[in-house]
Amino acid sequence: MSERVKKALENHKHGYNCAQAVVCAYCDLFGVDEKEAFKMSEAFGFGMGTMGTCGAVSAMAVLTGMKLSDGNLDKPATKKECYKMMKDMTRQFEDKNKSIICAELKGVKGGNVLRTCDGCIEDAAEIIENTLLKK
C-alpha cells in the first residue's frame, strides 16, 4: 500500500468524508491547496449527501479533472479525455465492488455490505495511482 493510500485512510480516520479523504491525499500533486480541496469535495461525501454515487468514486472524478483538464475557459478541449478516464476508473471500481452506489456498497439496500468506506477509499486511491497517475 502506497503512502498516499495510507494518507487517504488516515484522512478518513481524522473525520474527512470519503471524497475528502481521497481528494486531499492527492491534491498537492495538482497544485491545489488541501483546505480548498477539502472544501470543494465536502458535498460529495455520503454519496453526494444522498447515498448516491460513492464519495470515493466522486473523488476520482475531481482528481481526473485536476489532472487532465486543460482549464481553457474559452474553448475547452479535454472533456472527452476526462470522460474516457473516468469511465475506465469507474468500471474498475465497479468490477471490484459490484456497485458505485453508496447505499448498495453499505448494504442499505438488501442488507448485504459490499464494501466498507475504508475499503472504497483504498480501492479508489489504488485505481487513481494505477490509472490516472500513470498517464
16-40 core/surface letters (b: 16 or more CB in 10 A; e: else)? bbbbbbbbbbbbeeeebeeeebbee
Burial class of residue 51 (count of CB atoms within 10 Å of its CB; 0-12, 13-18, 19+): middle
Range of the domain at 68: 3-132
Mean predicted lDDT score pLDDT of the chain:
96
- Counting residues of the chain whose pLDDT is more than 90, the rounded percentage is 96
Q: Number of structural domains, the chain?
A: 1
pLDDT at 1 over 90: no
For range 31-60, the mean pLDDT:
97
Residues 63-118: tens digit of each pLDDT: 999 999 999 999 999 999 999 999 999 999 999 999 999 999 999 978 999 999 99
